[in-house]
Amino acid sequence: MKGEAKAQGIGASVLRREDDRLLRGRGQFVGDIKLAGLKDVAFVRSPLAHARVHAVHVPEAERGRRIFAAADLDGVKPIVAITALAGFKVSEQPVLAVDKVRQVGELMAMCVADTRAQAEDLAAMVELDLEELPAVHDMVQALEPGAPLLHEHWGDNVFLESAMDVNIEAAFDAPVKITRTVRTARQSMAPMEGRGTVAVWDNRMEQLVLYTGSQMPHIVRNGIAECLGLQQRQVRVISPDVGGGFGYKGILLPEDVCLAWLAMRCGHPVRWLEDRREALTASANCREHYYNITAYADRDGRLRGIDCTAIVDSGAYSSYPFSACLEAAQVVSILPGPYDFPSYRCKTWSAATNKCPILPYRGVARTGVCYTMELMIDAIAREVGMEPYEVRLKNLVQPEQMPFDNITRKHFDSGDYPEALRRAMAAIDLPAIRARQQRGEPDGRLIGVGHSIYCEQAAHGTSVYAGWGIPMVPGHEQATVRVTPDGGLEIRVGVHSHGQGMETTLAQVANEILGIPVDRIKVVHGDTEYTPYSTGSWGSRCAVMAGGAVATASREIAKLVKGIGSHLLQAGGGDVDLVDGKVVTATGSVTIEEVAHTWYRRPQDLPAGIDPRGLETTIGFKPVRDSGTFSYAAHAVVVAVDPEAGDIELLNYVIVEDGGKLINPMVVDGQVYGGLAQGIGTALYEEMNYDSSGQPLASTLADYMLPGPTEVPAPAIDHMETLSPYTEFGVKGIGEGGAIAPPAAIGNAVNDALRPLGAELYQSPMTPRRVLEAIRAARQRAASPTVAEGA
């Protein structure tokens, strides 16, 4: 027993150490940083989606002084994010536009003044001479012959084609064949804090210091050094408190490079803070997918095969470091989800369009894939006359198959997917819902029940990313852990915590091993100067990777502490234990404080042969297999659909989730709640539309609707804890999962509700307009049965 200390280790809902400063408005976000002489930057941005740049007219008195165009940026390389995937076409994103602009909001000139308002006054003085070109505003249009070309030398608008075929012909004789077209809207990840950068040149350190709200400060450092031709020692990236990421802050922006360049020349700190219009329309969007999918099945609901073509709208440029292709290429490998079936074919295109680049958003391609696959499972169920959960149970990977390699060679580490689904169905009480549907509603609304299940590959490492060949490939994740002279602990990690609570949870990991109280442990992150290299926070990897690194390093520290403690206890370096923060033998004990005091303050008391590493170590961690942990969840939801207004209300929501061992259940629940809210936004509200000239149509939060307190129910969450066999403590990554399944579950519930009307929806968000259109189309089909289904 570890007594009181045990309450702070793995599995304890320790309250967060980061809360107090944030609750008192004393956090430090990029916009809060004040440096003497700081000036503000505003950018002149392209008003057109696609145009040839004839001239950028800058008033002569300001050129090179307060206003800078591309010609002024000597020695700056464009941002290039390649992949190693065969056939990938490279885009070059100039940090300020040179001869062409390819998206609304593309940077054309940089203006610097005492305040942002004054910098915007300067921006208004710049005149643009642009020749508008036809725009590619839609990913399907992008692939048509004769479409305008973004990057002329490519010859088409395709960053990459990806394909896989596993014996698809064997499915063609299946008695059930269902084809649907599915679309998901372009979205903005919309963290409450936008991007922002403060840059200053430090003469004493001969170093550019870039404060930027980033999920991956070390990767930004790589990119800045590459674009500006600097040595790494000359670049320090600090990511302070960050107001939400969700993938949006996993990018090197042209603005970062521009400000770094400016700071090196102007002799004072400079700052750019993204406004909401820039965030929504210019920097990066995500998640716009198109699927044409055919499912083959037997009459008993057994899946025989899936045949799919898909397009992902990748925008104008390949973003650094994730590239334009991660999403579409992943669609090929993850579309089968948690199902085991024998035949599969999938081909995808990463389409270039005149829109801002895309980034992987919480769940990456999985949200769209889950939506598509799960709507198809329900369509099969309707066709064969079974309950959808029965079809799922027939096709899910079974627990006795674990570990399991699926049809695309994804390695499922552990889990009991059917059990998760059964628990969700029990919690939502399917028979009661069916009975309620029979009775009908007094208000005329239609009740529907839907569910979905997915798997989430998390913390996937070298073996996965080496194949992608993008600008970052995760290797061993390192942590530095050291005992301080007073017996406290410092942990240094290269990942970044921006809401995940790692200042608390990583301390819990160390507490589990060393017994040092959490409030005596400092977690340092977000500064390339003080932390080991890391690809950062993405892919639900931090609990597994950084947690694993802290555990590994803490075990080394335990050995070192025991070595010194053994000497102090005159145990001759022999058998001692570390319990509750004390080194103990059968006859005595010595505290970590005393061990630390001896190493740092009274080295004269140490024997000659003591381990010279002292009480500090840096060590790396990789799971036993680095192909990723597989967490998963079953979601079930009851909806009420108003067939007159098209409105959808969520009446009950249940989540059964398996994230392996939970380090801090309170924090995990928070991730699930937050993911669900974002998934509801994807399902019902959020949509970044463009008109046919490539103009973004949602540039405020009044147009781009985020779910508020009245739109998000409090779900019931049930945890299964199937340990991963490959990670420290059996932890699995779960940061993204909550956002993956909601559109699928809600979509199935809506289609279930609309079934009496013969209507089905296959496009998110499922807005009132789309609900009413689906109902209208069903009525027209019923009136003239010759009209083809699925129009």
Residues in contact with other proteins by CB under 8 A are 15-16, 18-29, 31-32, 34, 115, 117, 190-193, 241-246, 275-276, 498-501, 666-667, 669-670, 673-678, 700-702, 706, 708-710, 712, 714
Backbone angles phi, psi at 557, to 5 degrees: -60, -40
CB of 359 closer than 8 Å to CB of 321? no
Structure tokens at 350: 């990463």
Is residue 439 helix, strand or coil? helix
Number of helices (H) and strands (E), helices first, in the chain?
A: 18, 29
Cα dist. 156→83, 142, 313 in Å?
18, 8, 14
Helices (H), 386-444: 388-395, 417-428, 430-439
Cα dist. 601→210, 484, 485, 555, 560 in Å?
36, 11, 7, 23, 16
> Element (H or E) spanning 406, and its range?
none
CB of 514 closer than 8 Å to CB of 557? yes
- What is 583-646 written as a DSSP string? EE-SS-EEEHHHHHHHHHH-GGGS-TT--TTTTEEEEEE--SS-S-EEEEEEEEEEEEE-TTT-
Distance CA 322, CA 82 (A): 9
* Least distance between other proteins and beta carbon 276 (Å): 4
Structure tokens at 518: 């959490």
CB of 655 closer than 8 Å to CB of 637? no
Amino acid at 603: P
Distance CA 731, CA 508 (A): 13
Q: What angle do CA 376, 380, 383 make, to 5 degrees?
A: 135
* Least distance between other proteins and beta carbon 633 (Å): 15
Contacts of 339 (CB under 8 A, 6+ apart): 303, 373, 395, 396, 397
Q: Provide long-range contacts, Cβ within 8 A and 24+ apart, for 16-21.
A: 16/501, 16/503, 16/504, 16/667, 17/503, 17/504, 17/507, 17/518, 17/519, 18/497, 18/501, 18/503, 18/504
* Least distance between other proteins and beta carbon 663 (Å): 14
Distance CA 313, CA 325 (A): 10
* Least distance between other proteins and beta carbon 740 (Å): 15
Q: What angle do CA 673, 712, 182 make, to 5 degrees?
A: 90
* Least distance between other proteins and beta carbon 361 (Å): 12
Distance CA 70, CA 638 (A): 54
Q: Between β-strands 235-238 and 207-212, what pairing exists: parallel, antiparallel or unpaired? A: parallel
Is residue 728 helix, strand or coil? helix
Burial of 173 (C-beta count, 10 Å sphere; 0-12/13-18/19+): exposed
Q: Between β-strands 303-315 and 343-352, what pairing exists: parallel, antiparallel or unpaired? A: parallel
Structure tokens at 783: 């009136």
Contacts of 211 (CB under 8 A, 6+ apart): 30, 33, 197, 198, 199, 238, 239, 240
CB of 141 closer than 8 Å to CB of 77? no
Cis peptide leading into 532, omega within 30 of 0?
Answer: no
Q: What count of Cα atoms within 13 Å lies in the side-chain half-sphere of residue 458? A: 33
